[in-house]
Amino acid sequence: MIELERDSIHAWIDNNNIKTDTGLPLDFKDHSFIWDIYSDFSPKQVWMKAAQITASTCATLKSFFIAKNKRMDLIYTLPTEADRNIFVGGKVNRIIAQNPILQRWTKDKDSIEQKRVGDNFIHFRGTWTQKAAIMIPSDLNIYDEVDASKQDVIEAIGKGRMYVVRGENSLDFKLSEFYISDESEAVRGFVGDSVTLEGAASLHLKGRFLKEQQSVEVNVIKDGQIVKTYSAESPFDIAYYDDEISQGWSYYRLEIIAKGLRLVTNPIFAHRITKRALLEMSH
């Protein structure tokens, strides 16, 4: 029975007497159309819905089921931080309170921003906030009320164009530019991208504090190893030139350290080919 619960969300709902946020048993009698949506785990879905069809309950329960049984980390976005607070406090937390199994699953970490479910996490974010751009590991993203959300943040989350920051000054710092290009800058790749470059690679990065500027240490990381360290004053504008060409794929990321700040970006993946190899491919 336990194995069936891990594979079937409907078996999990029935066996654990899952209830809604109001304490009523989850019932599909008046919402039979949503039965298939519960059990649909297609990686890309778009819901166009009316109000009051229990879609938020469905999305919430599916997110917990996926985190626990599919062992995925999730990002759940709403338009604003206030929307996030209302949704998590008024819907998600009430669903948890009505269901002992969810209380057990979330006992180790349960906050407005984050729920730990087994070994995985559900992160709740608003899109119209600076913190929305901070990197969070994610295997699956749920975007609620997309039309009212900040579209470039939705795109950034989907493409992995984010970074993680820690420290008391983390929200005061902005990494305004980080990309890789070939020598001519005809080809550019940003965080989360995979690009093919001819010849040497150039990394371009800019950053600043929004309030008081300070000294920073910038580490350029290639394939897991620090290949260059810069000591700079913010705002900074740095170009790193990598002419150590090796065939195949490499990845680059940044680590930035300052007082009250540690930042690490998602990687940029680059496939390097020499001009000679390019000529051989063209013939």
109-152, pLDDT tens digit by residue? 789 999 999 989 999 999 887 665 455 668 899 999 999 998 98
CATH number of the structural domain spanning residue 197: 2.60.40.10
Residues 74 and 31 in one domain: yes
Q: Which domain holds residue 243?
A: 165-282
Mean per-residue pLDDT, 240-262: 89
Residue ending a domain, among 119, 144, 160, is 160
One-letter amino acid at 180 equals I
pLDDT band for position 2 (cuts 50, 70, 90): low
Residues 19 and 149 in one domain: yes
- Mean pLDDT, the chain, rounded, equals 89
The 3-state DSSP class for residue 212 equals: coil
Residues 60 and 110 in one domain: yes
Residue ending a domain, among 160, 180, 208, is 160
Residue ending a domain, among 160, 182, 205, is 160
Locus of tokens 């300070």:
214
153, two tokens: 């943040």
What's the CA gap between 68 and 217, in Å, rounded? 39
Residues 231 and 271 in one domain: yes
Beta carbons of 201 and 182 less than 8 angstroms apart: yes
Residues 133 and 41 in one domain: yes
Beta carbons of 142 and 74 less than 8 angstroms apart: yes
Prediction pTM value: 0.70
